[in-house]
Structure formats: C-alpha cells, structure tokens
Chain A
C-alpha cells in the first residue's frame, strides 16, 4: 500500500481536502448562460421558420430575456471574482488557449446580436417598450433597421446561441486536472440542457397560448430524451475512463452526491417532467406549471452537481495529517 501524509499542512481550506473554489455563482452563470443560449436559438428558429403566429412569445418576446438572464449570470460571475476591480483585464488580452478568454470575447458578440433581434421584434412583442424607444432620437430608425435585417440577425442568433450553449460545458471540460469534467460530452449536454430550460421557460410564458405551449412542450420532450441519453453516455464515458474518473463517479453511486444527482436531477429534473409533459399532450390535465418549473430547477441542479463533483475529483489526494489509527491498522495487517 501507499499512504501519503502531509507533514506540513497546506492549511488551505479552499484546496484541501478537496477543491472548493467555486460555490453557487459559477453554476448559476453556466445555467443562465445555457438558458440565454436556448432563448436565442428558439427565438431565431421561430423567426426563420415564419412561425410568428403559432409561437408569438418565442418569435417576438423571448430573445429580449436572453441578455437579461445572461446579465444576471454575469453578475453572479462577477461576485465570484476575487480581484473584482481587475475585471476589465478580461478585455485587455485574448488568450487562445483559455476557454474563459474565448467566452469573454464571445459575449461581446452575443449581447449586440440578441439585443438587435429583440429590437426587430419589439413592435410586435413589447409595443409599450417600442413606443418608448420611438420617442428617443433615432429610436424609430433603429427599430426599422433591426426589422429590415431580422432574418440575418436570426441566423446569427442561432449560430451564437449554439456556441454559447456549448461553451458553458467546454468551460469545464477543458480542465484536464479535474477528471469528472474532462469529457467532451459536457458541451453537448449543457447545450441540450440549456435548450430544454429555454423551452420550459417559453411554455411557462406562453401558458395561455395553446398552439405555442403545445409546440414547445413537444420540443421539450425531445430535448429531455436527448439530455437523458447524453447523461447516460457521460456516465458510461466516465465509468470506462481513467482511474481518477472512475473514482470521481463514486460520488453519485453511493457517495455524497447520490441523492442530489439521482433524485433532484435525474428523477425530478428529467423523468417526472417528461411524464407530466407526455400526459399534458395526451390531454391529462395535471398542474401544468409543474413540468416546466421542474425542468428549470433540474437544469440548475445539473450545473451545481457537475461543478461540485468536478472540484471534488482530482488526480491525487493526501491524507490530512498524522493518522494514529492508520499506524494501528498497518500493525494489524502485519500481524
């Protein structure tokens, strides 16, 4: 056997016994980033498929919420920074090897693209806001310009939304030092989860519009099934991976995150809303708010559990000090 003991403690509670550098802020940012990405994609696809009448909220209103929820996520990320006054440093450099640097610059494109598409649908979606903007100098011209380029803007929003959704997963999967995160499936999983939460939000917002509610309930069923498949593939990928990855997986198979993963994410965040949505489509009218709300909560649980598990996974761990019981056990083994 090998037992490695720290003789002089690092005495760093954020590193030992397991990494604990990211709390709720980064998971919230990843969650809201995925939600914003999903809103951009669905709004843009609705425009491109000319489904304005079938899905008025998705076509004209949803994308306005993308920069709003993204900003809340950015605020959470800002709170997580330890050297907040230096936040501008993200924009004084571009580091091609750093996914976080890519993400920072990527948001410079996401904000104007989503706001421009929101302006293009403002007169139909939020006439009061459009009227207020029209009173401002150049406001009407701005709305006219956005409306003229609505379809190209929609194409840009699909591309940027997909990239943003995948980025939230790549941000974690790029950390090879954290075995639980180091799988290429996190990108697609977070993208699909982000789309699913966005579909759920649209179902909630369009609850009085039968056609739109039905359309996005159908879409969400497909997304939940895809997400479940990706989760299964992720687990297979980790279970057949390196020793640290297999050890990392123990946390959800009897370890400390078993309940949060299987009950709060897999059961309440995926399976139960899936059943409720299928029943909804078949006319079994249960409390319809439950399914989208559970999907939205499940999406956050997925990010929180993933961030926590990744931090707990490592290539190496030390025993945290002199262990008298260990010496006694060694003596017993030797007898």
Chain B
C-alpha cells in the first residue's frame, strides 16, 4: 500500500470506510489517522498519515504466534488471523512494534487490518483505498515493476514507519 501524504487531508474517511466494510466493533478501529507536526512555530510542517497494520515482510506477530493463527495470505505479504486457531494469548499484540492489532474481537479472537483480503480476492481495492476522497491511497503488488504502486515508489521519495525494527513494513508513505 502506498499513501501520498501530500494529498492526505486527514479527513478520516479511510477509518469510516474500514469500520463500515469490516463491521469493526464499537470502540475499536483497524486503521487511524496521525497528524505529525515538525519544526518550530511559525515554521511548521504538517503531515497526515493514515496508519494500519503494515503487513510486514518480516512480521514479528506471525513469528510470535504459537498456534499458526497469524499467517500470511497465500504468497502475499498480507497478514491475517485465523479466528478458529487463535487462543487470544495476545503474544502477537506484544510482538507488534506498531501496536496495530486490536485487543480483542467480541467473538474472542485477536483482530486487525486484513488489507480487505476478501475484496482483494475479487480484484477490488481495500475499502480504505476505494473510499479515499483525495485518491491519496494506492494498492497493488510491489514485486510487479509495472504496477501503479511500483511506479510511484520508483518516482517519488518515500518512507516506511520504524524501519529500524527490521520488520520490513509494506505500507509506504510518499513525501
């Protein structure tokens, strides 16, 4: 996923789209928006970032899961939780440096952003991407050099969050 912070206005529509699409329980969110301000007044710059699970290539949550409930979806980097395997031990929550996992779905298992795998399987974008009014979010395969996300990453400066953790996150922010 690639997010253009120059286009994001911090409206929160991605959060609403996710809650609606995935029926995220009351009081919990799978994604959130951060307003990052840098500098010294009055020379300040502000950046809006829509954040969620980074679906890391080296996902410490997957490694920490004792039952295999946290897993990669097919050959992708999309990290999912299989509710029927999850004991709710919360090791994955402790293992996530981004604190991106919900504590608990009311049905008892640990929940998180799925990149709307159910939509991706049908060739659709995740709900947050589809619902963004400024089209600041893009979704696709970074291992395909012809994809829109690959072209954006090749042509624009970008960053990931907390690269020093070594998790190799897959949500990229264009500067």
Interface residues of A (CB under 8 A from B): 1-16, 19, 21-22, 80-87, 89-90, 92-93, 95, 97-101, 103-104, 174-178, 310-311, 314-316, 318, 330-331, 333-334
- Inter-chain pairs besides A21-B90, A92-B85, 7 sampled, C-beta below 8 Å: A12-B27, A22-B90, A85-B108, A95-B63, A95-B65, A100-B64, A316-B98
Complex CA–CA separation, A19 to B166 (angstroms): 21
CB neighbours (8 Å) of B66 from chain A are 90, 93, 95, 98, 100-101, 103-104
CB neighbours (8 Å) of A21 from chain B are 90, 93-94, 103
Name which residue of chain B comes closest to A315, CB basis. Answer: B97
Name which residue of chain B comes closest to A15, CB basis. Answer: B99
Q: Which of B34, B91, B99 contacts A100 (CB 8 A)?
A: B91
8 Å CB interface, B20-75 against A: 27-29, 32-42, 44, 48, 60, 62-69
Please give the distance in Å from B90's CB to the nearest CB on chain A. Answer: 4
Name which residue of chain A comes closest to B103, CB basis. Answer: A14
CB neighbours (8 Å) of A318 from chain B are 34
Please give the distance in Å from B93's CB to the nearest CB on chain A. Answer: 5
B136 within 8 A of A: no
Name which residue of chain B comes closest to A86, CB basis. Answer: B87
Complex CA–CA separation, A93 to B82 (angstroms): 13
Complex CA–CA separation, A313 to B100 (angstroms): 15
CB neighbours (8 Å) of A314 from chain B are 97, 99
Establish whether residues A333 and B94, one from each chain, have CB atoms under 8 Å apart when the complex forms: no
Please give the distance in Å from A213's CB to the nearest CB on chain B. Answer: 40
B79 within 8 A of A: no
| A8-B29, A92-B67, A334-B42 known; A82 vs B110 contact (CB < 8 Å) | yes
Please give the distance in Å from B81's CB to the nearest CB on chain A. Answer: 11
Convert B81-121 into 0s and 1s, putting 1 for each residue whose CB lies closer than 8 angstroms to a CB of A: 00011111111011111110111100011100000000000
Name which residue of chain B comes closest to A327, CB basis. Answer: B41
Please give the distance in Å from B101's CB to the nearest CB on chain A. Answer: 8
CB neighbours (8 Å) of B60 from chain A are 175-177
B contact residues, range: 35 or more
B131 within 8 A of A: no
B174 within 8 A of A: no
Establish whether residues A95 and B12, one from each chain, have CB atoms under 8 Å apart when the complex forms: no
| A2-B38, A83-B109 known; A15 vs B32 contact (CB < 8 Å) | no
Establish whether residues B95 and A175, one from each chain, have CB atoms under 8 Å apart when the complex forms: yes
| A6-B33, A15-B99 known; A84 vs B88 contact (CB < 8 Å) | yes
Establish whether residues B35 and A5, one from each chain, have CB atoms under 8 Å apart when the complex forms: yes
| A98-B63, A177-B94, A314-B99 known; A10 vs B29 contact (CB < 8 Å) | yes
Complex CA–CA separation, A11 to B90 (angstroms): 18
CB neighbours (8 Å) of B15 from chain A are 8
Q: Which of B27, B39, B96 contacts A177 (CB 8 A)?
A: B96
CB neighbours (8 Å) of B95 from chain A are 175-177
What are 20 A-B residue pairs whose CB atoms fall within 8 Å in the complex? Answer: A1-B38, A5-B36, A13-B103, A15-B102, A15-B103, A19-B94, A19-B99, A80-B90, A82-B90, A83-B88, A86-B109, A89-B69, A90-B66, A90-B67, A95-B63, A98-B63, A315-B97, A330-B44, A331-B41, A334-B40
Greatest chain A CB density within 10 A among B35, B48, B87 is at B87
Please give the distance in Å from A247's CB to the nearest CB on chain B. Answer: 14
Please give the distance in Å from A3's CB to the nearest CB on chain B. Answer: 5
9 tightest CB-CB pairs across the interface, nearest first? Answer: A82-B88, A334-B41, A83-B88, A14-B103, A100-B66, A101-B66, A177-B97, A83-B108, A97-B63
